[in-house]
Amino acid sequence: MYRTHTCGELRLANAGQSVTLSGWVQRTRKMGGMTFIDIRDRYGITQLVFNNEINETLCDSANKLGREFVIQVTGQVAERSNKNNNIPTGEIEILAESLNILNEAKTPPFTIEDNTDGGDDIRMKYRYLDLRRNVVRSNLILRHQMAFETRRYLDQMGFLEVETPILIGSTPEGARDFVVPSRMNPGEFYALPQSPQTLKQLLMVSGFDRYFQIAKCFRDEDLRADRQPEFTQIDCEMSFVEQEDVLQLFEGMVKHLFKYVKNIDFSDTFPRMTWHDAMKYYGSDKPDIRFEMKFVELKEAVSGHDFVVFDSAAYVGGICASGCADYTRKQLDQLTDFVKKPQIGAKGLVYIKYESDGNLKSSVDKFYNSDDLKAIAALFNAQPGDLILILAGDKTKTQKALCELRLEMGNRLGLRDKNVYTPLWVIDFPLFEWDDEAQRFFAMHHPFTSPKPEDIQHLDSDPGRVRANAYDMVVNGIELGGGSIRIHDSKLQNKMFELLGFTPEKAQAQFGFLMNAFQYGAPPHGGLAFGLDRFVSLFAGLDSIRDCIAFPKNNAGRDVMLDAPSTIDQSQLDELNLVIDIKE
Amino acid sequence: MYRTHTCGELRLANAGQSVTLSGWVQRTRKMGGMTFIDIRDRYGITQLVFNNEINETLCDSANKLGREFVIQVTGQVAERSNKNNNIPTGEIEILAESLNILNEAKTPPFTIEDNTDGGDDIRMKYRYLDLRRNVVRSNLILRHQMAFETRRYLDQMGFLEVETPILIGSTPEGARDFVVPSRMNPGEFYALPQSPQTLKQLLMVSGFDRYFQIAKCFRDEDLRADRQPEFTQIDCEMSFVEQEDVLQLFEGMVKHLFKYVKNIDFSDTFPRMTWHDAMKYYGSDKPDIRFEMKFVELKEAVSGHDFVVFDSAAYVGGICASGCADYTRKQLDQLTDFVKKPQIGAKGLVYIKYESDGNLKSSVDKFYNSDDLKAIAALFNAQPGDLILILAGDKTKTQKALCELRLEMGNRLGLRDKNVYTPLWVIDFPLFEWDDEAQRFFAMHHPFTSPKPEDIQHLDSDPGRVRANAYDMVVNGIELGGGSIRIHDSKLQNKMFELLGFTPEKAQAQFGFLMNAFQYGAPPHGGLAFGLDRFVSLFAGLDSIRDCIAFPKNNAGRDVMLDAPSTIDQSQLDELNLVIDIKE
C-alpha cells in the first residue's frame, strides 16, 4: 500500500498516528539539524520533518531530494510548534521514519506554483506539469463538478443522455466541417459534428421526449482567442413544449449549478429582455446587466443645432457615467482614444459634464447652449457630478461602439465584479439576419428555428420583422447558451428553406433525412445548448476558455504538447486513397 | 401547454380529472359507436375513447387518424369497465372532449411494435422510427442509467472526469487510426484516439490522482458483428496504487451497477482466476463460469494405446457433460459436425458414454477397454449418466475448439441463463504474446503494462514466462474491461520498448511526449477501461452491441440513415490540399 492518507487529510486529531504518505516534493528547507519537506498531492500539502540527530542517514537522503521527486514517507503525526493557518494540514507535521524514492524528477522548466515563472508557450508544451499547479487543476475540478451537477439535475428531470455519433455526414452549410476519409468507402468522408442538432431532432421524432448530452463538437474555423477547434456543449432537447417550458426548465438548471457548485442561491425568476431592447439599450444581444448605464437615443434631441456630425448621423446615442464629471482632460482623451481604436471604430467622442455645482460643460459648447445641454442631461436623468458620453454615426456600428464604451466605463467604475453574477434571458430574436454582402437573409440561429406564430403572416412580405421563438441565456455579458423552438411542420420547414435560398433539391440533399423523418410524425419540440467551456470559465473567473480545458490547442489549432497535427505515413495515405497536393 | 400528464402516468386515483395528453397514435379500434385510440409516448400508453353519440364530429376526426399521427387530446379520466392489467394505465381511459392533430404521419415502413415486421436493413435506414419501439428505446434508457450510475460511483470515490481531446496525433502502432486532415496545417493530420491511454497517464503525471472519462474511442478496423468504428469506454486511472487497490475499487463499481441498475446484490468478493488457469480449464481468457464443466487434460492417461490420433496429438483434453449419456447417434453427429466447422476447426470428436447402468461405451472402444475408459472417467469425476467429450491436436487450437464445445454444451443444457450473472477477475496475464508470423513478441496489453516485480529477472532470458500486473473483468464469458499497473520507471519503459523491437528513435517519435513526461516525476499508477457498449449489452441481454447504440454503423462502417460517409465538395478537398486517387 502506497499511502494510508492523502497529503490534504491529516489534522491535529491524528497526532500520534503512524501514517504513510506519497506525493511530490514541493519544497525543501534546511534549518539547523532539521530538514523540512513539503509533500504535495492533489488533495493538499503536508510538512515532513527529518531530524539529523535522530537519523543522519535518513536526513541525508532527504537533503538530496530534488523538486518534484515522487516520494513515499512513513512517520508519526505530530503537533507543529509553529502552526501554518493558511493550509488545512498546517497544525501538524510528520516526523519521518522512512523514505522511499518512488521516482526521480528532472527540474521542471517552470515552477509548480500558483504564480509560476513559466510563459504561455512553455506551459502548453509541458501541459502535464502546468496541470500540477493548483490554479490550473482547480479549473478542471470545477469542470468535473459542473458536468456532474448538470447530469444530476437533468437526470432528475427525466432527461436521457444519448450519445450521438462523432462520425457523421458533412453539411457544407454553416461553419467548415472537419472531415475524416473513409478507408472502407474509398473517396468518401465522414464529418465531425458541429453540433448534434439534427440528431437530437431525430431523437424527438423517435419519442425520446427529453434528451441531453454533454457532447464534443467540432468547427474548422480560423481560431480566435476564445475559440477551440473542439469544444463541449450541454446539448438538450424536449418534446411537447413551448418556449416557456424550455426557459423554466433550464433556468432551473442554471440555478441548480449556481447553488450546488458556487453556493449561490437565486430565488427570483431571471429577468427577460427582448432582443430589440437589448440592442436598443445595450447595443448587444448579450448585455452585461451587472450595471445599468442604458443607452439613451438622442437623434431627435440633438438635431437642428448646425452640428453636422450629429445632423448627418443616422444614430446618436449616449450613456451617463455616474460621478465622472470630474474626469480630467487626460482621462477624456483616453476615452476618445479608446473609442477610436480600429476594433471599436468610432470617429470621435462627445462629452457633457454635469458638474457638481450644476453647471453643464461639453465638447460641443459651440452648438449647444446650457439649456440645450440641460435638456439632453434630463433625458439621462443625469445628476450633478455625472458625465455623459455620446457617439454618433451609422446605427449598428455606433451601437456596437457605444456598447464597448459602456463596458469600459463599467470596468473603470468597478461595476463588473467577477463574483457578482447577473443572469438574463434574451428572447424574441429576429428569425432572419440580413447579409449585406450576399444580399440575402440568413437564419440567425439555424434553419430549423420556428417563427413566432403571430409573425408567420409577415414571412413573405417583411421577413426582417419576423421574430423567432429563440432565446439566449446570458450571464455578465457572456452568452452561455441558446436555443429555440423548432419547426415541426414540414410545410413551414420547406417555406423556410425557400426563404433561405435553398432549392428543394439542395434542401433535400442536405437535410433530406431530417425532412423525411418529419413526415412520420414529428412532435412539437425545442431545446437549447450551453457552451460548457464558457460556463466553466465564467464560474472560474477566467478570461479565456483555454484554462478550463485539460489539453487545449493553440491559435493555429496545434496541440504543442502532442505535436499534433503531424504528417502521416505514406502507407496510411495510400490506404485512404489520398494524395497531398499543397498549392503555393 | 401541450400536456398535463404523460401517457404513462394516469391511475384510478386520477378518475374525474380533466387532463390533456400528447403523443402518437399507436392503434385505433372502432366498436359500435365508440372509437378507442391508444396514445403512446416514451412513458406509456393510455386509452382514449371517442363516443359517436356524444360528439359525432369529434368521433369522425378520431376515425380519420392514421398510425403514428401526433395528437393532443383533452378529456376526463374515467374508470375502465374492461381493465387491462398488462399496462400501468390499464385501469383508466380518457373520455375525449377535444382533439388536436399536431402532426400527420405517413404510414411507417414497419410496425412500431416490440415484434416488428421490419428487417434489419430497413430498421437501420429508418432508425428514428426503430427507436420508437419500446424494446429498442429501453436499451438506450438502460445505457443512460448505467452511465449515470458509473459517474455517481466514481464521483463518490473521488475520481475526476476529465475530457481528453478527440483531435490528437497519429500512432501507427496498434490498430489503424482514423485521421483528420488539418486545413490550417497543410499536409498534416490529426488522428482520432483509439483510447485516451497516453493522455490519462499524463494526467497521472499531473497529479490528478483519480481520473475517469466516459470516452469515445475510434478504430478503423474491418468490422465484425460486434465491432463499431466508434465505441465508448469507461476509462479510468489511479495513482499510488497496486493491483489490489484497482481490483477492489472497480469490483465496487461493478457491484454498484448491478445493485442500482439491475437490483442484484453481490455480497461476496468476485472470484479470481489466473490467466494460466483460465486457459488450462476453460481454453479462454474470458471463461464463462456460470457452469463448471472444466477441461481435463488427458494426454498422459490416453497415451500408449496405439490410437494414433491421441498419440500424435500435442494436447488431448475433454469435458464431462452431466446427464448426457443418453445422447443419440444423431445428437453426437451434430456435435461432431459442430466441432468440425471451419471456425471451430477440430478434426473429429471422441466420446465416452458412462451409461446409467454403469457400463462405459466410447467411439474408441477399439483402443480402450472398459477399465481404461473407467480410469479416464474417474479423471472427470464422471457419474453414471454422464457424457465425456474429447478433442485432440495442437494445444492452442484444440483448447479453443474445446472451449467452443463447452459453451455449446452449456447452451444445450440450459446452463447459460442470461439472467444469471457470474463475474470473474482474470489476473496474471502474460506480459508478451508471441507472434508466429512476425517471429517476435508483442505486448499482450500495451507497451506501458508493468511486469510483475518478481518476474522482471526473466525479461531477457525468458520473456514468454514474464507475467504482467494485468487483469480483465469477465462476466458470463464476456470481457467487460481490463487494465494494468503501468510502468512508471523510464528505465524499465525503455527496456520494454527494446524488447518490443522499437529503436530508441522510433520509441521517441511515437511516445516521446509520454517518455519525456515520465522524467519529471511519474507516480506509480494503474487503471483499466470498461467497454460501455458491451456492458450495456450484457445488462440488456443483447447478442450485439449494435442495439444499445442510438445510431450505429453497419459492417461497411456506413450510417445508412445519414448516408455517411459521402463525397465532399471539390472546394473542401482544395482547402485541405487533398486529391483523391482511387487505385483499382
Does residue A218 sit in the same domain as residue A168?
A: yes
- Name residue, grid cell 451409461: B355
Cα(A220)–Cα(B113) distance, integer angstroms: 42
Does residue A462 sit in the same domain as residue A511?
A: yes
**Residue B473: half-sphere exposure toward Cβ, Cα within 13 Å:** 29
Task: Find the closest chain A residue to B150 by CA distance.
Answer: A148
Q: Tell me if B410 sits within 8 A of B290, measured CB to CB.
A: yes
Alpha-carbon torsion angle A543, A545, A548, A551, nearest 10:
-130
Which residues neighbour B156 within 8 Å (Cβ) at sequence distance 6 or greater? none
Strands, DSSP E only, in A363-417? 387-393
CB contact under 8 Å between B169 and A563, yes or no, is yes
CB contact under 8 Å between A166 and B163, yes or no, is no
**Residues 424..443 of A with a Cβ closer than 8 Å to B: which?**
none
Nearest to B182 by CA among A565, A176, A562, A560: A565
Closest residue to A105, CB basis, from B209, B521, B566: B521
Residue A172 has a pLDDT of: 62
**Which of A368, A397, A416 is the C-terminal boundary of a domain?**
A416
Cα(A240)–Cα(B72) distance, integer angstroms: 9
Residue B173 has a pLDDT of: 63
CB contact under 8 Å between B68 and A575, yes or no, is no
Does residue A174 sit in the same domain as residue A237?
A: yes
Q: Residue B232: its chain A contacts at CB < 8 A?
A: 163
CB contact under 8 Å between B562 and A513, yes or no, is yes
pTM value is 0.95
Does residue A359 sit in the same domain as residue A444?
A: no
Residue A438 has a pLDDT of: 84
Q: Sheet of B478-485: strands edge to edge?
A: B160-161, B210-218, B230-239, B525-531, B478-485, B470-475, B423-427, B272-274
Give, in order, the Cα–Cα distances in Å from A64 to each of A28, A29, A61, A101, B518: 10, 11, 5, 11, 20
Q: Tell me if B25 sits within 8 A of B37, measured CB to CB.
A: yes
* Domain presence at residue B397: yes
Cα(B136)–Cα(B131) distance, integer angstroms: 6
Q: Are strands B18-31 and B70-79 parallel, antiparallel or unpaired?
A: antiparallel
Single-letter code of the amino acid located at B205:
V
Calculate mean pLDDT across residues B184-207: 96
Nearest to B402 by CA among B415, B392, B412, B387: B392
Q: Tell me if A137 sits within 8 A of B207, measured CB to CB.
A: yes
Does residue B55 sit in helix, strand or coil? coil
Q: Which three cell numbers stand for residue B551?
A: 445510431
Single-letter code of the amino acid located at A211:
Y
Cα(B72)–Cα(B24) distance, integer angstroms: 9
Radius of gyration, CA atoms only, chain B: 30
**Which of B396, B416, B436 is the C-terminal boundary of a domain?**
B416
Q: Tell me if A288 sits within 8 A of A477, measured CB to CB.
A: yes
What angle, 0 to 180 degrees and rounded to 10, lies between the N-to-C axes of helices A532-540 and A243-262?
Answer: 40
Q: Are strands A92-103 and A44-51 parallel, antiparallel or unpaired?
A: parallel
Q: A433: part of which helix (H) or strand (E)? A: strand A432-435
* Domain presence at residue B354: yes
Task: Inform me whether the C-beta atom of residue A69 falls under 8 Å from chain B C-beta atoms.
Answer: yes
Is the Cα torsion angle B229, B234, B238, B244 positive or negative in sign?
negative
The rounded Cα A399 to chain-centroid distance in angstroms is: 23
Does residue B449 sit in the same domain as residue B527?
A: yes
Longest dimension (CA), chain A: 93
Closest residue to A128, CB basis, from B163, B206, B559: B206
Q: Residue B163: its chain A contacts at CB < 8 A?
A: 143, 216, 232, 549-550
Task: Inform me whether the C-beta atom of residue B102 falls under 8 Å from chain A C-beta atoms.
Answer: yes
Q: Which three cell numbers stand for residue B272?
A: 479470481
Does residue B482 sit in the same domain as residue B528?
A: yes
Q: Which domain holds residue B379?
A: 291-416
Rounded to the nearest angstrom, the minimum Cα separation between B140 and chain A is 7
Task: Inform me whether the C-beta atom of residue A578 falls under 8 Å from chain B C-beta atoms.
Answer: yes
Nearest to B451 by CA among B396, B478, B491, B481: B491
* Domain presence at residue B336: yes
Q: Which three cell numbers stand for residue A222?
A: 480560423
* Domain presence at residue A579: no
Does residue A491 sit in the same domain as residue A441?
A: yes
Rounded to the nearest angstrom, the minimum Cα separation between A405 and chain B is 34
**Which of A387, A416, A445 is the C-terminal boundary of a domain?**
A416
For residue A197, give the CATH number of its domain: 3.30.930.10
**Residues 315..344 of B with a Cβ closer than 8 Å to A: which?**
none
CB contact under 8 Å between B162 and A557, yes or no, is no
Task: Inform me whether the C-beta atom of residue A87 falls under 8 Å from chain B C-beta atoms.
Answer: no
Q: Residue B549: its chain A contacts at CB < 8 A?
A: 163
Closest residue to A102, CB basis, from B161, B208, B524: B524
Number of domains present in the structure of chain A: 3
Nearest to B200 by CA among A128, A214, A351: A128
Closest residue to A103, CB basis, from B161, B170, B489: B489
Nearest to A355 by CA among A379, A385, A389: A385
Which residues neighbour B266 within 8 Å (Cβ) at sequence distance 6 or greater? B254, B255, B258, B259, B423
- Name residue, grid cell 402516468: B9
Residue A521 has a pLDDT of: 96
Q: Tell me if B61 sits within 8 A of B99, measured CB to CB.
A: yes
* Domain presence at residue A149: yes
Q: Kindly tell me if the per-residue pLDDT of B584 is higher than 80.
A: no
Residue A110 has a pLDDT of: 96
CB contact under 8 Å between A179 and B180, yes or no, is yes
Cα(B307)–Cα(B299) distance, integer angstroms: 12
* Domain presence at residue B68: yes
**Residues 131..150 of A with a Cβ closer than 8 Å to B: which?**
131-132, 137, 140-141, 143-144, 147-148
Q: Residue B176: its chain A contacts at CB < 8 A?
A: 183, 572, 575
Task: Inform me whether the C-beta atom of residue A277 falls under 8 Å from chain B C-beta atoms.
Answer: no
- Chain A interface, mutation test: which of B7, B123, B163, B579, most A Cβ atoms within 10 Å? B163
Residue A437 has a pLDDT of: 86
* Domain presence at residue A567: no
CB contact under 8 Å between B185 and A558, yes or no, is yes
Q: Tell me if A77 sits within 8 A of A14, measured CB to CB.
A: yes
In eight-state DSSP terms, residue A238 is: E
Task: Inform me whether the C-beta atom of residue A584 falls under 8 Å from chain B C-beta atoms.
Answer: no
Task: Find the closest chain B residue to A191 by CA distance.
Answer: B565
**Residues 26..45 of A with a Cβ closer than 8 Å to B: which?**
40-43
* Domain presence at residue A429: yes
Nearest to B296 by CA among B341, B346, B352: B352
Does residue A158 sit in the same domain as residue A61?
A: no
The three-point CA angle A208-A213-A214 to 5° equals 175
Residue A483 has a pLDDT of: 97
Task: Inform me whether the C-beta atom of residue B169 falls under 8 Å from chain A C-beta atoms.
Answer: yes
Rounded to the nearest angstrom, the minimum Cα separation between B208 and chain A is 6
CB contact under 8 Å between B68 and A521, yes or no, is yes
Give, in order, the Cα–Cα distances in Å from A583 to each of A577, B209, B575, B577: 19, 47, 10, 7
Q: Are strands B70-79 and B315-321 parallel, antiparallel or unpaired?
A: unpaired
Cα(B518)–Cα(B511) distance, integer angstroms: 11
Residue B314 has a pLDDT of: 96
Q: Residue B567: its chain A contacts at CB < 8 A?
A: 187-189
Burial of B423 per CB tally in 10 Å (0-12, 13-18, 19+): middle
Closest residue to A3, CB basis, from B141, B148, B240: B240
For residue A332, give the CATH number of its domain: 3.30.1360.30
Q: Are strands A423-427 and A272-274 parallel, antiparallel or unpaired?
A: parallel
Q: Which residues pair with A231 in a beta bridge?
A: A217
Runs of H (alpha helix) within B157-262:
197-205, 243-262
Q: Which residues pair with B432 in a beta bridge?
A: B443
Does residue B150 sit in the same domain as residue B268?
A: yes
Nearest to A293 by CA among A406, A373, A422, A377: A406
Does residue B433 sit in the same domain as residue B334?
A: no
Report the mean per-residue pLDDT for chain B.
95
Burial string for A108-135 (b: 16+ CB within 10 Å, else e) reads bebebeeebebeeebbbbbbbbbbbbbe
Full pLDDT tens readout for chain A, 584 residues: 999 999 999 999 999 999 999 999 999 999 989 999 999 999 999 999 999 999 999 999 999 999 999 999 999 999 999 999 999 999 999 999 999 999 999 999 999 999 998 888 999 999 999 999 999 999 999 999 999 999 999 999 999 999 999 999 987 667 899 999 999 999 999 999 999 999 999 999 999 999 999 999 999 988 766 789 999 999 999 999 999 999 999 999 999 999 999 999 999 999 999 999 999 999 999 999 999 999 999 999 999 999 999 999 999 999 999 999 999 999 999 999 999 999 999 999 999 999 999 999 999 999 999 999 999 999 999 999 999 999 999 999 999 999 999 999 999 999 999 999 999 999 999 999 988 888 888 888 888 999 999 999 999 999 999 999 999 999 999 999 999 999 998 788 888 988 988 888 888 888 888 889 999 999 999 999 999 999 999 999 998 899 999 999 998 999 999 999 999 999 999 999 999 999 76
CB contact under 8 Å between A550 and B163, yes or no, is yes
Task: Inform me whether the C-beta atom of residue B464 falls under 8 Å from chain A C-beta atoms.
Answer: no
Q: Kindly tell me if the per-residue pLDDT of B225 is higher than 80.
A: no
Q: Which three cell numbers stand for residue A57?
A: 542517514
In eight-state DSSP terms, residue A199 is: H
Closest residue to A521, CB basis, from B103, B222, B240: B103
- Chain B interface, mutation test: which of A128, A192, A199, A561, most B Cβ atoms within 10 Å? A128
- Name residue, grid cell 494414433: B308
Rounded to the nearest angstrom, the minimum Cα separation between A577 and chain B is 5
- Name residue, grid cell 450510417: B559
Does residue A206 sit in helix, strand or coil? coil
- Chain B interface, mutation test: which of A38, A123, A144, most B Cβ atoms within 10 Å? A144
Q: Kindly tell me if the per-residue pLDDT of B539 is higher than 90.
A: yes
The rounded Cα A44 to chain-centroid distance in angstroms is: 28
Residues in chain A: 584
Does residue B378 sit in the same domain as residue B439?
A: no
Phi, psi of A279 (to 5 degrees): -70, -40
Rounded to the nearest angstrom, the minimum Cα separation between B36 and chain A is 20
Rounded to the nearest angstrom, the minimum Cα separation between B74 and chain A is 14
Q: Which three cell numbers stand for residue B399?
A: 483448447
Does residue B407 sit in the same domain as residue B429?
A: no
Confidence of residue B502 (pLDDT cuts 50, 70, 90): confident
Cα(B250)–Cα(B543) distance, integer angstroms: 24
Cα(B193)–Cα(B280) distance, integer angstroms: 35
Q: Residue A42: its chain B contacts at CB < 8 A?
A: 207-210
Task: Inform me whether the C-beta atom of residue B225 falls under 8 Å from chain A C-beta atoms.
Answer: no
For residue B90, give the CATH number of its domain: 2.40.50.140
The pLDDT tens digits of the residues spanning B476-491 come to 999 999 999 999 987 8
Rounded to the nearest angstrom, the minimum Cα separation between A104 and chain B is 6
Q: Tell me if A344 sits within 8 A of A401, measured CB to CB.
A: yes
CB contact under 8 Å between A128 and B203, yes or no, is yes
**Helix %, strand %, coil % of chain A (to 5):** 30, 25, 40
